[in-house]
Amino acid sequence: MVSLLPTLHRIWRLFPAQARRRFYEKATNAVSPKAAWTGKTPREPAEPFIVAGALSAPTGLGEAARQILFGLIAGGYRVSAIDLSKDLAQKSMIPLPELPPPPTGPGTLLLAVQPPNVAHALTLIGRSMLADKLRIGCWVWDLEVLPESWIEQSRLVHALAGPSRFCTETFERRMDLPVRLIRYPIGIVQAPQALRGKSGTLRFGAAMDLGSTSARKNPLAVLQAFRRAFGPGDAVSLSIKLRDVGADPAMFAELQSLAATDGPPVEILNGDFPLKRMEEWWRGLDVFVSLHRSEGFGLLPAEAMLRGIPVISTDWSATAEFISPETGWPVPATLVPVIDSTGRYELEGAQWAEPDMTAAVDAMKDAARNHEEVSRRGAASVEAARRIFSLEQLQAGLGLPTGIRQHAE
């Protein structure tokens, strides 16, 4: 028998992307178990915890889910995981620890899946597992205004959590739900550190997912600032690590073209790296650069800081909460209306930041001529990151006592 699925899929792809997205949201909302309180549902986060999301995917959201999971494990809590990577059409490549199977009955579900996939994820988890669970949506959004779909799908959870004040304040303005600030506890892992600038050549680095939209991540600004800052013979280099370049092949081609022009060496790397290769890439960097237009958190700048790599970053949105002149080079910016060819961020009244390119160039030059200052800010970055992204901050966000949880035998 000939399968009709390939034909049906081709027909489905003929519809406009926005129409497909709205149909998907409406269909999954209709069948998803709604959030309801029972006599057994915890009113505050309580054990056992279940962390659900694209846990094995090499994405920012996948890493965010893993960090929450690892934090709860480090705290000694009873915790299980539900990896939805393959179900949400994400690549599964990051190994996960062995944990007990998720239990039914009362407990807390930390759902690191956000609209438009929340309803689908809850359907996959199933009604029996969701019964009597406190559902907390661990969401990240990058603007001060929200899509309507986020407001609609907020009805599927009992509470929300964001990793930055930038996020939580946005949620509080538009959502009629309790909102928690839950910092990702990336500081609980001892990140490898390297001595900076010993070779005499200062190496800048940037990394981003073009699937999160090139307009927001703004990779071209990093390369343009580098080309403006330095000329042939300057003892500097730049490495740009990209993923999902298929989401914007035109931007990928433009980056490659500018990288090939005269000046200090620039490499453009593409793809999902295994953990070992990614760590090797980090070890080769002296300064990280993120000239984003907006970030709901800024995982990669935070990871750079933890590794002793100071950050040149746009001084707006979530990264402004943890990057200071002591730990890096905040780049002033001007708020402008959002222009995003994908339509994802073009919402009524939406603004984001346009970084000052002259200031970005000056920051690069300052780092290149003062390696001792790079080392000093790198050391301050480690201290700040360990304090801000700690187990204690995770526990505070969940309203739990600080310290390692001790279970009775």
Q: What is the pLDDT of residues 200-237, one digit of tens each?
A: 799 999 999 999 999 999 999 999 999 999 999 999 99
Q: What is the per-residue pLDDT for 275?
A: 86
Is residue 360 scored above 50 in pLDDT?
yes
Residue 407 reports pLDDT greater than 70: no
Check residue 191 and give its pLDDT: 61
Amino acid residing at 133: K
pLDDT tens sequence across 42-53: 999 999 999 999
Q: What is the overall mean pLDDT for the chain?
A: 91
Which burial class, exposed, middle or buried, applies to 271 when counting CB atoms under 10 A from its CB (0-12, 13-18, 19+)?
Answer: exposed
Coil vs helix vs strand at 120: helix
Residues 6+ away with beta carbon under 8 Å from 202? 235, 236, 237, 286, 287, 367, 368, 371, 374
Listed residue (295, 315, 318) closest to 356, CA to CA: 315
Digit-coded pLDDT (tens) for 233-243: 999 999 999 99
The pLDDT assigned to 139 comes to 97
As a whole-number percent, the residues of the chain with pLDDT over 90 amount to: 83
Distance CA 79, CA 98 (A): 11
DSSP SS3 for 402: coil
Residue 3, pLDDT above cutoff 90:
no
**Structure confidence at residue 402 as a pLDDT band (50, 70, 90):** confident
Could you say which DSSP state residue 155 is in?
Answer: G
The Cα–Cα gap between 309 and 360 comes to 17
What is the arithmetic mean of pLDDT over 352-358? 98
Choose among 318, 323, 37: nearest CA to 159. 37
Kindly report which listed range (5-14, 205-214, 261-270) carries the lowest average pLDDT score: 5-14
Res 97 pLDDT > 90? yes
Phi and psi at 96, nearest 5°, equal -120, 155
Phi/psi for 267 (5° steps) reads -115, 140
* pTM for the structure as a whole: 0.89
The b-or-e profile of 363-375 (16+ CB within 10 A means b, else e) is: bbbebbeeeeebb
Q: Where residue 14 falls among pLDDT bands split at 50, 70, 90?
A: low
Average pLDDT rounded to a whole number, residues 129-137 = 97
Rounded Cα gap, residues 347 and 270, in angstroms: 30
Percent of the chain at pLDDT exceeding 70: 89
DSSP-derived letter for residue 124 is H
Reported as a pLDDT band with limits 50, 70 and 90, residue 408 is: very low
Write a three-state SS string for 37-83. Answer: CCCCCCCCCCCCEEEEECCCCCCHHHHHHHHHHHHHHHCCCCEEEEE
Does position 32 have pLDDT exceeding 90, yes or no?
Answer: no
Can you give the pLDDT at residue 187? Answer: 82
**pLDDT interval class at 33 (50, 70, 90):** confident
Least confident stretch, 26-40, 100-114, 227-241 = 26-40
